[in-house]
Amino acid sequence: MIKVPTMHSEFTFQQIVESIPNAIILVDREGKIAFVNRQAEMLFDYNRDELSGQSIERIVPHRYREKHPGYRNMFFDDPKARAMGVGRELFALRKNGSEFPVEIGLNPLITANGTLVLVSIIDITERKRAEERFRMIVESAPNAMVLINGEGKTTLVNSQMEKIFGYSKEDLINVEFENIIPSLFKERDAGYRNSFFAMLPDTPVNNVHNLFAMHKDGTIFPVEISFHPIEHAEGTLVLAIIIDITERKNQEVNRLKSEFLTNMSHELRTPMNAIIGFSEMLIDKKVGELNAKQLEYLNDIYASGTHLLQLINDVLDLSKIEAGKIELITESFSVPNVIGEVVKVLKPLADKKGITISLYLLESVDRVCIDKSKFRQILYNLLSNAIKFSNWEGGISIETFPSNDNCFALKVRDTGIGIAREDIDRLFAPFVQLDSGTARRQEGSGLGLTLTKKIVELHHGKIIVESEINQGSEFTIILPRHISNN
């Protein structure tokens, strides 16, 4: 409380108040203005004669005037220094009727004429504009942003925070930041939690933390957070920029998985080639005669080894594609010739089931320049699947025809068990085999169609599937006639 007992002191006080850069107004208990300084005149656009002796409500907006005397009486009943309207926005009124945002400080002053209140008024219009610009920048940012006060509570969030965390903005305001990023304070004592934000101003601006956040539904997900201290009238605030790195982590996991599969596939292929090679030598009787039972067992070993090697090769190819380590080796070749080669290899399997393979190859689709071995693999996968899932004594057709000026189509149609419409999207998921209706589980890795789709996409082509249960399936591949190695 300030005391001004003498006339000399009052004169000195007036000199001091006039030199203060803020607007200063002295008000008595009845709300009458006893004194205004030069800054107050300039701020409200009145001269001091127009304000002296007038009610303080003259500079209070109309919507606040009814309650203002009550607030004044509360102050004089317990006069002590305080900020007016803590937690609320305050506005003052100029002579021309315009309103502007203010910060107001109250201080009791004892004079020879009784207790007055010294009102310090600061125009915060520019600060509000700056804060609004800041809010607009935060709101339009592509990353989640949250402003945190010294108590560790959120004071501002943007729409990206809503999107990433699943909360509404109202749910995220004024909550403990550790409830959103629990891993930031995990296994830390209360002292660390209380001092964390105090330490941040000394932290480099480009600090980045890889932590785990909590979604509204309780799920935990990885995030990358950087903290940026901001000096504010309310003290030091911290702007946290949060990036959901789930996809980045998934890509890293997939990369490591692909590298592991590649390494393991190479390790497995070497012994499998030895098993197949030696069993083939024994079957060919290059090391001596065999009885019927021995030959049967060796054929089983050879068949199983060949099947396992194909699975290993599929895994290797898939892992290479996913890791981006496979390249297309293009060459010019005849499409009908390659189709004939693949049909010749698989015809014995079709013959065992009495399946007829019919070819409808247009002369307009002959030479192309793409990856020959990959095209052969596409057709091998489609035709072997058609044979596997066709009914006994069924039929399979292979067609080629132009698609547009620079593309051609390969269509493989069977009369097999078909695929349910709701299962078609699952066809190309790795390691997935479908059981539909009357279908029995078939041998295989579930990788054939996955590889086929990825190889087609490597050629910038597309695959189209049409099928119904018990009505057969039709796979159409659209590929360019020519691609370069670049």
- How many angstroms separate the CA atoms of 460 and 479, rounded? 7
Query: Which has more pLDDT, 337 or 207?
Result: 337
Residue 273's SS3 state is: helix
Tens of pLDDT along 272-312?
Answer: 888 888 888 888 888 888 888 988 888 888 877 877 777 77
Assign 194 a pLDDT band (cuts: 50, 70, 90): low
CATH T-level topology, domain 2-123: Beta-Lactamase (3.30.450)
pLDDT, mean over the chain: 81
CA 98, 99, 102, 108 dihedral sign is: positive
pLDDT at 189 over 50: no
Q: pLDDT tens across 319-364, in order? A: 667 666 677 889 999 999 999 998 988 888 889 899 999 999 998 9
For Cα atoms 51, 53, 54, give the angle at the middle one, nearest 5 degrees. 55
Q: Which two tokens stand for residue 133?
A: 């610009």
CB 309 within 8 A of CB 280: no
Q: What percent of the chain has pLDDT over 90?
A: 23
Chain Cα centroid distance, residue 244: 5
pLDDT (0 to 100) of residue 185 = 58
pTM: 0.46
Asked which of 6-15, 140-149, 233-242, 286-295 is least confident by mean pLDDT, the reply is 6-15
Nearest to 75 by CA among 63, 88, 65, 85: 85
- Of the candidates 110, 104, 106, the one whose C-alpha atom is nearest the C-alpha of residue 82 is 106
pLDDT of 14 strictly over 60: yes
Cα within 13 Å of Cα(88), Cβ side: 7
pLDDT > 70: percent of the chain: 85
Class of domain 330-480: alpha beta
Of 187, 231, 185, whose CA–CA distance to 209 is shortest? 185
pLDDT at position 226: 84
Annotated domain spans of the chain: 2-123, 127-244, 249-322, 330-480
Angle at alpha carbon of residue 331, lines to 328 and 337, rounded to 5°:
115
pLDDT tens-digit series, residues 23-35: 999 999 899 998 8
> What's the rounded Cα separation, in Å, for the pair 5 and 264?
93
Range 289-294 contact pairs with CB under 8 angstroms and sequence separation of 24 or more: none
Q: Which of 146, 103, 148 is nearest to 127 (CA)?
A: 103
Q: Are both 2-123 and 127-244 of the same fold?
A: yes
CA distance 312 to 318: 10
- The token pair that represents 65 in the structure block: 């005037």
Residue type, 27: V
CATH no. of 127-244:
3.30.450.20
Rg value, the chain, Cα: 41
Per-residue confidence (pLDDT) for residue 323, from 0 to 100:
63
> Residues 74, 80: contact at Cβ < 8 Å?
no
DSSP secondary structure, 32-90, as one string = BEEEE-HHHHHHHT--HHHHTTSBGGGGS-HHHHTTHHHHHHHHHHS---EETTTTS-E
The per-residue pLDDT for 278 is 87
